[in-house]
Structure 1
């Protein structure tokens, strides 16, 4: 019977051995990449349907993650449990699909049971196993060798190094396909609209700006009192100042008010023209909200006027809107 680990140093030594073994397992995959990997990629790139990923037990968990990674990086994919596939879920697989099957031994009964059915359908099969001579590997159109010398488990029983290697090889496959498709960060955002990256790459100024009656603005020549009332009414910390043709001539902000108080003891005769910031920072409605964040941070301001092509104000954007939307 093995003696249990009892000291912190022994626990850390065990963890270090595990990481070293799994690091070596991943490193060993480099020499295994050959024309079969290229063929697997070509089958998936030519696929008119979906990449159907399957595996049993621990390999099944890895297969599910690979399917999710493929789907989020431009290769439509989903996971099918091999046991359920033999009991009806095989109907989810068509001849237009490509099947990626994981099995470290290459002999998993639930997975090999699918072989005759896949052959009858004519669905291309890519396998990922630790044994190139296994049943699954031999009946595949392309085989990816994920074999490892040993498991990190000291009993050499629990799938550890083998699942780590399979996961890394799945990532390598997904990234190769991503680059082959010319997949971009914006493409990634389209499949992650709820994430922070999606918000940064999908939300535009027009999605967040205050417009219509919520747009703070006064005309050139207005008394400073009118500008202050407009700032208070709209609550955005600034107001646009427009000329006779409705174009943005400048802005007046809370910061301008502090400077005005330093320079003028009597505000009753002050016009907004005399104290506004010219020409005022501005941005277009189709600009990414993330770019608006950069402009605000670079200029140490909290709001921007949004203008059309004729430089007429059509909206106002505040830092609070960007914070509330999750862009920052």
Structure 2
């Protein structure tokens, strides 16, 4: 068997650990298997950019951040630069004799993978997103690493907030799903957590922060980039000609500074710090489990499925069940209830 592996979408801690696990598991099961890495996601199929992966080349990747294969978060062969280049990608697979493909990616990459699967490409998916928002999957690798960064940032911001009696606003990733802000906010002791799934009222937020400042002299706000005001307002940035959710941290900092006279309000944007660096021990183990499960699915011929974590077990879910869908924070989720009981979430 000759297997291709690609990493699509944004980078995150744990990608290299999955590449390592898939490769080592396949080679351990059958030394005659060949594993090829496709560079920069689906772009590599269109550009014919492949590289061999061996046990020696992947063995030390477990704790390395990023992806040695590179990635491209806008390389959709079905809509590439105004035309359908999927045939070009299929030709690449045929030319190199790739018998099966492992797609490691988020909802966008898995949706593309599902389309290729429907065209007859033997395909197994591995869910990747620090946002933790892939349907039918309880935990994505990279998420724990991102939450750890948020929690540490809030812990550090708390000391300066206490010293200067400030309100500190921290903006995290989370366009449509607020898992990072919710879990990171709980781990970092945020006084207010703002997520896309729960629109917030600025007057109520101001009153809550006033109470916290009077009680303890400072306050911490953890806000997801896609958080929404109760009137439906969201904040967008248009750098590089592409509109992206973001900027709510600074907008909220400015608004609170006006509403909290006599209290200094400062904002911090974590941005890509949440994506970078080595994966946590949890993510290294989860990535390894996903990679081994993907290799076994390939050997079993369970194509057209993605691996998912359910009840601490790696299971196989049809790609069609996750394609084009997102797992958002339910308002009755135990974490939401916990934050609400603590007064951090409306």
Higher relative contact order (CA 8 A, sep 6+): 2
TM-score by length of 1: 0.27
Report which of the two structures shows the higher radius of gyration computed on alpha carbons.
Answer: 1
Q: Name whichever structure is richer in helix by fraction.
A: 1
